[in-house]
């Protein structure tokens, strides 16, 4: 990563965060023609689930142009209608995916003091934390101001820029500039995950190439400029992807205080395993255990569709940066997780649901602004003046953690 002025990025991020936190949120996926054009796709998803897309033609250098076009068209339809789809043909064996889930589950089954050996600490503090990497216990993650019922390890692309001294003086760090904190146990976790990150990064690269083709941006010219608006524009801006990977365990949500005495089925509507949100970056490749009914995706009519796992497939969604690049032609769709524990118990961990999302993101210093062709096609003014992915990420890191823990969990 190129040298990056962290202080500038941080102060821009802080002011953006303050400015946006008071702005009412736009309705999800507004469309001018939501009663006609989108009726059928909504009904289709409600009956058949989200579309399934095979990405193999963008991973195979010998695939035919027509196979790639078919895939690209399917991606465009899925992104216009839902912003979510299942991805197959990625080439990562199902046994490897199962191992990733199993290793995460084994980590979460450890006693809390062992998990806290890789605890996330605030940047600038004496523990050398960077506010982002490491283990966070139940209730530390916050979405929309509410605590999520989850524990997680957060890993990021290693920081390749200059490492500056944190605000607390020598030995302290700036936000995101620390090393990843890998657990010692299970001993094989780190090696297996590092190999997986390489594989899933290749899938992310193929996916953003397919997305450029899906938008019909036209073939890349040899020696094209980084910001040339051709079908490789996303791939160039993600060539040093500042990826994020989370290992998450969601214990079943507890019954609310009132419902414990009244109707046990009735649950606190303000409690979420992960509150409704959009993802920050480019594309998310979500791997989850087989628990049904946990992840829900908001359709354009406002209803919530369960996105249950399909064996061997990733659940993919586009994030805020793709929405910005496409000037809203493809929306970064709201989703949430509600795991009540009635879907059965999976191995160790007492009914916890485990997922491992991989966020394939733009480069930290990638300047993301609406593409001219998408602005013209959307027929609406530019939705954003443009800023770096790093600035956007920092606003999210600041709004994501809860510093005074609830004690009733
Ligand atoms: O665990 C899941 O199913 C989704 C997690 C998620 O949406 C996220 O971490 O952004
Ligand atoms: Fe998400």
Is residue 5 over pLDDT 60?
no
Handedness of CA 107, 111, 117, 123 (dihedral sign): positive
pLDDT at 47: 84
From the CA of 278, how far away is ligand 1's center (Å)?
10
* Nearest ligand 1 atom, CA 295: 3
Q: Does residue 97's CB lie within 6 angstroms of at least one atom of ligand 1?
A: no
From the CA of 286, how far away is ligand 2's center (Å)?
9
Contacts of 259 (CB under 8 A, 6+ apart): 265, 266, 267, 268
Angle at 282 between CA 280 and CA 283, to 5 degrees: 105
pLDDT at 39: 59
Q: Residue whose CA is closest, atom 9 of ligand 1? A: 357
CATH class of 51-254+269-403: mainly beta
Q: What is the mean pLDDT of the chain?
A: 85
By mean pLDDT, which of 54-68, 345-359, 383-397 is the weakest?
345-359
What are residue 243's phi and psi, to 5 degrees?
-65, 160
ipTM of the complex: 0.99
pLDDT at 2: 38
Q: Residue whose CA is closest, atom 8 of ligand 1? A: 357
On the CB side of 320, CA atoms within 13 Å amount to 16
From the CA of 274, how far away is ligand 1's center (Å)?
7
What are residue 295's phi and psi, to 5 degrees?
-80, 130
Radius of gyration of the chain (CA): 21
pLDDT in tens, 167-189: 999 999 999 999 999 999 999 99
The Cα 146–Cα 371 span in angstroms is: 34
pLDDT in tens, 67-84: 999 999 999 999 999 999
Confidence of residue 141 (pLDDT cuts 50, 70, 90): confident
Q: Does residue 317's CB lie within 6 angstroms of at least one atom of ligand 1?
A: no
To the nearest 10°, the Cα dihedral for 354, 130, 171, 405? Answer: -70
From the CA of 181, how far away is ligand 1's center (Å)?
20
Q: What average pLDDT does range 147-163 have in this prediction?
A: 92
pLDDT at 256: 55
Q: Does residue 335's CB lie within 6 angstroms of at least one atom of ligand 1?
A: yes
Is residue 385 over pLDDT 50?
yes
pLDDT at 342: 60
Element (H, E) at 323: helix 320-325
Is residue 144 over pLDDT 90?
no
pTM: 0.87
Q: Does residue 286's CB lie within 6 angstroms of at least one atom of ligand 1?
A: yes
Instruction: Number of helices (H) and strands (E) in the chain: give both, helices first.
Output: 12, 16
The Cα 339–Cα 296 span in angstroms is: 10
Is residue 27 over pLDDT 70?
no
């Amino acid at each position: 990563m190129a040298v990056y002025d962290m202080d500038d990025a941080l102060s821009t991020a802080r002011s953006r965060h303050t400015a946006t936190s008071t702005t009412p949120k736009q309705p999800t996926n507004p469309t001018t023609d939501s009663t006609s054009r989108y009726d059928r796709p909504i009904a289709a998803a409600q009956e058949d689930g989200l579309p399934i897309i095979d990405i193999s033609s963008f991973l195979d250098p010998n695939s035919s142009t027509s196979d790639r076009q078919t895939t690209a068209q399917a991606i465009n339809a899925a992104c216009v209608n839902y912003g979510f789809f299942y991805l197959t043909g990625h080439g990562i064996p199902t046994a490897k995916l199962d191992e990733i889930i199993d290793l995460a589950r084994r980590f979460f089954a450890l006693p809390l003091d062992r998990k806290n050996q890789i605890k996330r600490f605030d940047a600038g503090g004496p523990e050398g934390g960077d506010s982002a990497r490491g283990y966070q216990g139940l209730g530390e993650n916050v979405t929309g101001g509410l605590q999520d019922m989850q524990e997680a390890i957060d890993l990021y692309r290693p920081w390749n820029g200059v490492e500056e001294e944190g605000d607390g003086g020598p030995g302290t760090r700036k936000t995101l500039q620390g090393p990843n904190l890998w657990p010692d146990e299970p001993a094989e976790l780190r090696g297996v995950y590092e190999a997986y990150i390489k594989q899933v990064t290749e899938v992310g690269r193929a996916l953003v190439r397919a997305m450029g083709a899906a938008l019909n941006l036209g073939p890349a010219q040899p020696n094209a400029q980084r910001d040339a608006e051709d079908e490789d524009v996303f791939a160039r801006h993600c060539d040093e992807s500042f990826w994020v990977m989370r290992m998450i365990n969601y214990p079943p949500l507890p019954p609310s205080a009132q419902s414990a005495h009244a109707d046990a089925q009735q649950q606190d509507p303000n409690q979420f395993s992960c509150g409704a949100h959009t993802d920050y970056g480019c594309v998310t490749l979500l791997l989850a255990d087989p628990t049904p009914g946990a992840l829900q995706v908001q359709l354009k009519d406002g209803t919530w569709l369960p996105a249950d796992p399909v064996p061997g497939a990733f659940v993919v969604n586009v994030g805020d940066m793709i929405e910005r690049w496409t000037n809203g032609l493809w929306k970064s769709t709201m989703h949430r997780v509600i795991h009540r524990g009635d879907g059965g118990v999976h191995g160790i961990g007492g009914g916890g649901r485990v997922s491992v999302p991989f966020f394939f993101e733009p480069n930290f210093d990638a300047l993301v602004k609406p593409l001219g062709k998408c602005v013209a096609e959307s027929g609406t003014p530019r939705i954003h003046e443009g800023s770096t992915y790093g600035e956007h990420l920092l606003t999210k890191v600041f709004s994501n953690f809860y510093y005074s823990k609830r004690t009733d969990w």
